[in-house]
């Protein structure tokens, strides 16, 4: 089943007298349960494509169907609703609220779900357990390591049971050992059936994905299955 389907999408930005074609014509599809990396140099269009797939932006032309819904022409409020239900975001900078505990940060997306506070807390606690942080619920972000903060961010991304986990340079602020730990976590999540789309400019991180789509100058340069995804042996 296709979760992501783009047909000839393009994105043009007009900045004063300058016209920038960030995406020229992108047609890709991602099936449920796939683990895909978008790669490309700065200016290749990978972040723009990520923003469109994440419903943070809309294409200038073309069609984008997310989990059976055409989101190409949705309004801001419609997109916000789709984002909350369908997509879990993991960012390079974690984006945790500093005054809230880990548990409160993870429970945040559930505020719009209609669940009462007790159910939200229970679900958030389960999400923390799923990323190996059951005992860190009361800790604030500044009391956690970088890797633990990224795990909290992953728990928050997954708490709503989204269709896709969208990770933007998820290891960009982490040292090598911690990066491999986060990649190990992604591997576990993928094996549980989660669909993962990751943007990275790091070749060794992209190699954990099972399919690699390389972009250049707003076009798909290559789209290949990775025959030997990296297994996390660094920690053994």
Q: State the pLDDT at residue 235.
A: 44
Q: Which range (62-71, 99-108, 180-189) has the least confidence?
A: 180-189
In this prediction, what percent of the chain has a pLDDT beyond 90? 67
Q: For 57-78, write each residue's pLDDT tens digit.
A: 899 999 999 999 999 888 888 9
Mean per-residue pLDDT for 184-210? 92
pTM score above 0.85: yes
**Beta strands 18-31; 69-70: pairing state:** unpaired
Q: State the pLDDT at residue 13.
A: 93
Q: For 134-157, write each residue's pLDDT tens digit.
A: 999 999 999 999 889 989 999 999
Q: State the pLDDT at residue 91.
A: 85
Q: How confident is the model at residue 232 (pLDDT cuts 50, 70, 90)?
A: low
Domains along the sequence of the chain with CATH: 2-225 (3.40.50.300)
């Amino acid at each position: 089943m296709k979760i992501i389907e783009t047909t000839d999408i393009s994105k043009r930005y007009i900045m004063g007298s300058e016209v920038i074609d960030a995406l020229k014509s992108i047609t890709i599809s991602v099936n449920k349960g796939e683990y895909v990396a978008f790669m490309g140099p700065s200016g290749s269009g990978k972040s723009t494509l990520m923003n469109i797939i994440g419903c943070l932006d809309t294409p200038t032309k073309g069609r984008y169907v997310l989990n059976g819904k055409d989101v190409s022409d949705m309004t801001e409020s419609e997109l916000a609703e789709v984002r909350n239900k369908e997509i879990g975001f993991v960012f390079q900078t974690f984006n945790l609220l500093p005054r809230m505990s880990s548990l409160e940060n993870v429970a945040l997306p559930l505020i719009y779900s209609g669940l009462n506070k007790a159910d939200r807390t229970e679900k958030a606690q389960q999400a923390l357990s799923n990323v190996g942080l059951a005992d860190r619920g009361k800790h604030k972000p500044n009391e956690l390591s970088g890797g633990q903060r990224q795990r909290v961010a992953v728990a928050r991304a997954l708490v709503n049971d989204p269709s896709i986990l969208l990770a933007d340079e998820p290891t960009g602020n982490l040292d090598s050992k911690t990066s491999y730990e986060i990649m190990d976590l992604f591997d576990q999540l993928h094996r549980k059936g989660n669909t993962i789309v990751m943007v990275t400019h790091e070749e060794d991180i992209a190699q954990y994905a099972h399919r690699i789509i390389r972009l250049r100058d707003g076009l798909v340069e290559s789209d290949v299955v990775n025959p030997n995804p990296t297994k996390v042996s660094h920690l053994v």
